[in-house]
Amino acid sequence: MSEKILVPVLGESITEATVSKWLKKEGDVVEADEPIVELETDKVNLEVPSPVSGTLTEINSKDGSTVEVGALLGSVSENSSNLKKTEEIKKIEPVIEKDNVVNLENPKNEEEPKIFEEIIEDNEVEEKPLVLTEEIKSEPNKTEIKNDKNLSPAVRKIVSENKINISSVKGTGKDGRILKGDLINLMGVNPPPSERKIKYGHEEKIKMTRLRQTIAKRLKQAQENAALLTTFNEVDMSNIMNMRKENQEDFQNRYGVKLGFMSFFVKASIVALKNFPAVNAEIEGDTIVYKNYYNISFAVGTDKGLVVPVLKNADELSFADIEKNIKQISEKAKDGKLTIEDLQGGTFTISNGGVYGSMLSTPILNLPQSGVLGMHNIVDRPTVVDGEIKIRPIMYLALSYDHRIIDGKESVSFLKMIKENLEDPRRLFLDI
């Protein structure tokens, strides 16, 4: 009996997907609920499991093909694996001898099962540490350099200071002696072409993934359909950094997670969103929809592109809950295990480009949202405090917003409120 493998329901507004890759090939034995094919949608990647145990007999949709919901992916023949397993099983029949004595020993010609040997072999497999032997070998030995009579004092000094591998230097002096000029000539040697150029040629063309296509499409739509404007401010991170330093150990021991910066920014954003509801709203035709709930989207960079999962009902979460949920969702994103539900329902976005070293940026809206907050790296900068120049850890903030429903006064005041709550985090606990 053959069972069909169909494209499952992918979620709201998603009608098709791309077959990313088959995890099994035709003829492979599969178990029930074992992932056998990976699909790529506009938002997430998902694995389709085998409906039954058996053998993958047919693949109808090849890698790279576009399939709709309910389309036939392939077929699995039921119970073929069980039959195969039955054939492979070798039973040891007891031999009945005289006086009804049962002999449980194996026949002489049969080999005894090597169960214990296999276990021992598995245990003996150890992961060896990576040793950079080539790098070590490439370093010249200082003793050898000093004792090499063929090198002049000037050459030995240059070799020693610059850690030059003299074995790669061709000497032009008498009897192949390395001269100072030979070392200087190394500066004029053209470097080899890049490894990618050697491997792939001058150009390489790779089809955009469905996720990358969707990202490009949505960002372009945001630029074309929204009246984008960005306002900036800066925040002194001294108090937050001191609070984290003083309470990090106790916080981690109690809640099992580190106290990061994101929980402070989420809390500060929610306070500002409650005071400026237009930033938490969206446009539907000629109607403004004000959201009285606060689902904070946060950008996560993965190998396959940028995804924006959602922290649901963030206003009802504690600092510890925020950190736990962000950690859990981020790990799911990097492992490619996000679901459609993880990406839907956001009302405001926080993007942290600072983890990659960004000093300043103008983030693009995550439609249909009306606001996105950009975080950046923290750098010690000279600032004037009480008439004195002091060095403080400063972060630049950027708020991009839809000017169609958010006025300049609202946007500036919104960002200023975030700044005030971050510079004095006690306000977040006192609700002022």
Name the residue type at position 87.
Answer: E
81 neighbors 55 (Cβ within 8 angstroms)? yes
CB of 48 closer than 8 Å to CB of 74: no
What's the N-to-C CA distance of the chain in angstroms?
68
328 sits in which H/E element: helix 319-334
Report which residue type is found at 390: K
Q: Which of helix, strand or coil describes residue 48? A: strand
Structural element, H or E, at residue 7: none
| 428 vs 414: CA distance, rounded Å | 15
Q: Which two tokens stand for residue 206?
A: 């790779």
Q: For this structure, is 148 an active site residue?
A: no
Q: 268 is written with which tokens?
A: 């500060």
Q: Are β-strands 72-78 and 54-59 bridged in parallel, bridged antiparallel, or unpaired?
A: antiparallel
Contact by Cβ (8 Å): 308, 367: no
Contact 419, 235 (CB under 8 A): yes
Do residues 32 and 52 touch, judged by C-beta distance below 8 A? yes
Angle in degrees, CA 266, 269, 273, rounded to 5: 135
Task: Confirm if 66 and 17 have CB atoms less than 8 A apart.
Answer: yes
Residue 202: active-site member: no
5 with 37: CB under 8 angstroms? yes
Is the Cβ–Cβ distance between 88 and 98 less than 8 Å?
no
For residue 409, which phi and psi values (nearest 5 degrees)?
Answer: -60, -45
Nearest residue to 350 (alpha-carbon basis) of 309, 313, 318: 309
Which is the catalytic residue, given 250, 403, 424, 431? Answer: 403
Answer whether 238's CB lies under 8 Å from 391's CB. Answer: no
Catalytic residue from among 42, 407, 424, 431: 407
Task: Tell me which residues are annotated as active site.
Answer: 403, 407
